[in-house]
Amino acid sequence: MDQNGSFSAGTVDNSSADGEALPGVTLIVCASCRDETGSDAHPRAGELLAEDTRRAASDENIRIRTVECLGNCKRRLSAAILRDGCWSYVFGDLTASSGADLVTGAKLFATSTDGLIPWRGRPDSLKRGLVARIPPLDLLKD
């Protein structure tokens, strides 16, 4: 958090020195999300989710970023998984310990041949918590 109380879009790149990050996959965690009580206490639940995700990805080649707000407050803890040239996914109703599920989703996405996160093998929290699937811009038609 910066001196103004905002969360920057800071990057934590967990890719190892001998390998590249998973092909274009980035996990974005909303660090400003509050817990189910709506408490303003720090660290916020979103910050805890970001840390849990970093721990879960410590041996993986996954880019993890945090942002101030994904605008999904009614669904509490939120995150997104993006992949270059593919659909993007937004998830809500996560917990502070959903980091491993996000990493599993990112790994499934990275190995997908059709640019979608496969339903089979997707953790339940990413099945139940799906908020939106956003198409890549080059797929949009006028």
Instruction: Please report which confidence band the pLDDT of residue 39 belongs to, taking 50, 70 and 90 as the band edges.
Output: confident
The domains of the chain, with CATH numbers, are 11-139 (3.40.30.10)
pLDDT, tens digit, 9 for 90 and up, residues 76-92:
899 999 998 899 999 99
Give the pLDDT score at 35: 86
What is the pTM (predicted TM-score) of this model?
A: 0.83
User: Which candidate, 62, 36, 60, places its Cα nearest to that of 48?
Assistant: 36
Give the pLDDT score at 38: 84
The mean pLDDT value for 45-63 works out to: 93
Instruction: Give the whole-number percent of the chain exceeding pLDDT 70.
Output: 84
Residue 99 burial class via C-beta count within 10 angstroms: exposed 0-12, middle 13-18, buried 19 and up: buried
Give the pLDDT score at 90: 98
pLDDT, tens digit, 9 for 90 and up, residues 90-133:
999 999 999 999 999 999 999 998 989 999 999 999 999 999 99
Phi, psi (degrees; rounded to nearest 5) at 101: -65, -40
Which H/E stretch holds residue 46? helix 45-56
pLDDT at 72 over 90: yes
Give the pLDDT score at 20: 54
Instruction: Please report which confidence band the pLDDT of residue 17 belongs to, taking 50, 70 and 90 as the band edges.
Output: very low
The span from the CA of 100 to the CA of 103, in Å, is 5
pLDDT at 139 over 50: yes
Which H/E stretch holds residue 126? helix 124-128
